[in-house]
Structure 1
Amino acid sequence: MSNVHVSNHPLVAHKLSLLRSVDTEPKKFREVVRELAILLTYEATQDLATRQIEVQTPLAKTSGAHLEQKIGLVPILRAGLGMVEGVWELMPSSEVWHIGLYRDERTLRPVEYYNKLPLEPTVSVCLILDPMLATGGSAVATMDVLKRWGAKKIKFVGLIGAPEGIAEVQKHHPDVPIYLAAIDERLNENGYIVPGLGDAGDRQFGTA
């Protein structure tokens, strides 16, 4: 699939197995989500622009790099919240803008209930954070919102994707790259990824 990047890093595979296990308790689940967010964001940000700067070390002056672009983190509530802390560790100056969507269990379509974006874009690159790319409805809706806002560069960072959700994103937003730890087999009749890991929000917050 073009514009879809699936990590082949051994640490990602190991930590994803921990997430999948039904025996992983919420505290450990949250920790692993944070760790995977760090690993996947590292891969998703390899093309960020930098400018050359001069750095004084204890021994001499040398050339260095300074991150040129302002980054916006856009977690899709509520499951995406668990990924923010990890990404913030990598890029503590990132802005965080929340977009609240829930999936109507009857239609499987997203319903927006929260959006506090400022009037004008304040960042150069938006990273949408959501553990599960299932039907793709929430991801597409978030990309729609960000593009109407004026965002020029958007990337999606998730943990697991279903072929159906990936196809939906590529249909509506083929310019948005997708970064995942794995692509699973399919969606079930209730719109959950199989084999997946269950409901990422419930498992993070202990509400299953």
Structure 2
Amino acid sequence: MEEKVIELKKNPVVQQLLCELRNPELQKNRFIFSANMKLLGILLAAKTSEFLEQKEVEVGSVLGTAKHRVTAHAPVLVNVLRAGTAMLSGNLEVFRESETTVIAASRNEETLECTVYYLALNDVVGREVIIVDPMLATGGTTSSVCSLLKKHGPTKIIVQCAFAAPEGIIKLESEHPDVLVIAAVVDKQLNEKGYIVPGLGDAGDLLCGKKVK
């Protein structure tokens, strides 16, 4: 059976970044937090590339020729505002020819229901799509974004996140069993407010400041 959740728990560099991202003292420095999230995006992008369509190319050097397997096409990157911005920047270091789609969604903190209220969509017909969102918590936002994207005909959707909760994974597997999740870590659970535990808090607030409206 094909694995639907890939966790980077054996990568010590990823684990070090997770330690720093969780650290409340380091979180006070927004520049460090953003830089760590960008670097994590680079590492996650490299792992994600293994699951994209590939092709073989032949390249000549001054001493001969060599064959390499590379990604066949640049994926479309979906930036889930606000929290996805730093990780997206890391992905663009790896997928340098990728186009970016922007989606903004909000979650009702009482019902935990998600509403997508902004979409700037590049052509995704027949293309591979990577949704970049640091936190896969309840799965509501991610599932809504997957449903929206599927209306436009992508060949594959991969969800890339820093932190995931079992509840969000279960929801996504139930509603979108064809979607692969690549996570730096799968944490224990959600709390009563729908936050990942132990998680790191609100990634969007830590990156951009608290919402005022």
Range class of TM-score, shorter chain: over 0.9
- 2:16 matched residue in structure 1: 14
Q: Which residue of 1 aligns with 2:113?
A: 109
The reply on whether 1:198 has 2:196 as its aligned counterpart is no
Q: Corresponding residue for 2:25?
A: 23
Q: In the TM superposition, what are the counterparts of 1:157-176 in structure 2 within 5 Å?
A: 157-176=160-179
Inter-partner Cα distance in structure 2 for 1:185 and 1:51: 38
Aligned to 1:63: 67
Q: Residue 43 of structure 1: which of 42, 47, 50 is its match?
A: 47
Deviation at 1:111, TM superposition (A): 0.9
Contact 1:70-1:123 within 8 A present in 2 as well? no
Displacement of 1:54 after TM fit? 3.3
Structure 1 unaligned blocks of 5 or more: none
Shift of residue 50 of structure 1? 3.0
| Contact residue 4 and residue 179 of structure 1 kept, 8 A | yes
Once the 2 structures are TM-superposed, how far is the Cα of residue 188 of structure 1 from its aligned partner?
1.1
1:128 pairs with 117, 131, 135, which one? Answer: 131
Paired AA for residue 35 in structure 2:
E
Report the secondary structure of 1:107's partner residue. coil
Q: 1:62 to 1:162 in 2, by over 3 A?
A: closer
Contact 2:7 2:184 in 1 (8 A): yes
Alignment-mate amino acid for residue 3 of structure 1: K
1:45 partner SS: helix
Distance in 1, Cα, partners of 2:195 & 2:70: 41
Contact kept, 8 Å, 1:129 with 1:157, in 2: the verdict is yes
Matches within 5 A, 1:129-144: 129-144=132-147
1:84 aligns with 2:88: yes
TM superposition score normalised by structure 2 = 0.91
* Separation of aligned partners in 2, 1:65 and 1:164: 36
Match of 1:5 in 2: 6
Considering only aligned residues, what root-mean-square deviation do their CA atoms show, in Å? 1.8
Deviation at 1:66? 4.8
Q: Secondary structure at the match of 2:25?
A: coil
1:21 is displaced (CA, Å) by 0.5
| Amino acid across the alignment from 1:26 | R
- Once residues 5 and 14 of structure 1 are traced to their aligned partners in structure 2, the CA distance between those partners, rounded to angstroms, is 18
Equivalent pairs counted in the alignment come to 207
